[in-house]
């Protein structure tokens, strides 16, 4: 299975530099959150949380929140759950796409999740955490599992299906989870990987000619 990790710590850092940096940034941001007063009262958090409100429903006045919100978490459990997912499931995609394209997919998937939430959800809502971007990683794997047969082993394909199914069910029954950020992130990752995949195939075809 491609999601089993056997690397040593130094080997992991060397093989997956972007994933390592993303994990480090999330942890450092959480430490900064706590140092500044926590989620509810911290000045750092209040400046960087993505939110929807009647005053700025689509984040037009503070667009940086679409990105910075990916690095802010609601608690230690929230952080650890997302970082475990990033640690285990993101490395094969970074290796497949390369660091730059993987980072683009990750960030744009997170933005897509926030954007879809801003459009669909009405009223005041806070949206935060790396899960939208992580679901973009899952969305990329779903593209591979459905449309690039043979690139993943059967066990890995089944793992992707189970994760996505569990994620949707959990997001629906748990009112504290941002369902649309997850759905938007997965759609974003699926479509973005499709664009990157076509570009890579086009480059290979040109090279053969």
Catalytic residue among 20, 69, 109, 182: 182
First to last CA, the chain: 35
Q: Distance between CA atoms of 27 and 21, rounded to whole angstroms? A: 10
Is 131 an annotated catalytic residue? yes
Catalytic residue among 69, 109, 127, 131: 131
Please give the sequence-ordered ranges of beta strands (E in DSSP) within 65-160, or none if there are none. 125-127
Is 78 an annotated catalytic residue? no
C-alpha separations of 42 from 54, 67, 68, 128 in Å? 22, 19, 15, 14
Q: CA geometry: angle at 72 spanning 25 and 116, to 5°?
A: 115
Q: What is the set of active-site residues? A: 131, 182
């Amino acid at each position: 299975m491609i999601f089993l990790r056997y690397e040593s710590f130094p080997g992991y850092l060397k093989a997956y530099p972007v994933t390592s940096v993303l994990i480090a940034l999330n942890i450092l941001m959480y430490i900064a959150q706590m140092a500044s007063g926590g989620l509810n009262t911290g000045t750092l958090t209040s400046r960087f949380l993505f939110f929807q409100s009647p005053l700025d429903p689509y984040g037009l006045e503070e667009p940086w929140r679409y990105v910075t919100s990916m690095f802010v978490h609601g608690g230690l459990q929230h952080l650890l759950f997302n970082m475990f997912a990033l640690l285990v499931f993101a490395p094969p995609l970074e290796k497949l796409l390369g660091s730059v394209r993987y980072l683009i997919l990750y960030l744009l998937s997170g933005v897509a999740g926030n954007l879809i939430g801003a459009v669909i959800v009405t009223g005041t809502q806070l949206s935060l955490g790396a899960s939208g971007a992580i679901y973009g990683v899952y969305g990329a794997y779903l593209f591979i599992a459905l449309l690039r047969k043979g690139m993943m082993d059967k066990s890995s394909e089944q793992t992707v299906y189970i994760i996505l199914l569990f994620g949707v069910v959990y997001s629906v029954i748990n009112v504290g989870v941002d369902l649309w950020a997850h759905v938007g992130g997965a759609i974003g990752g699926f479509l973005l990987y499709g664009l990157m995949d076509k570009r890579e195939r086009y480059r290979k075809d040109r090279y053969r000619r």
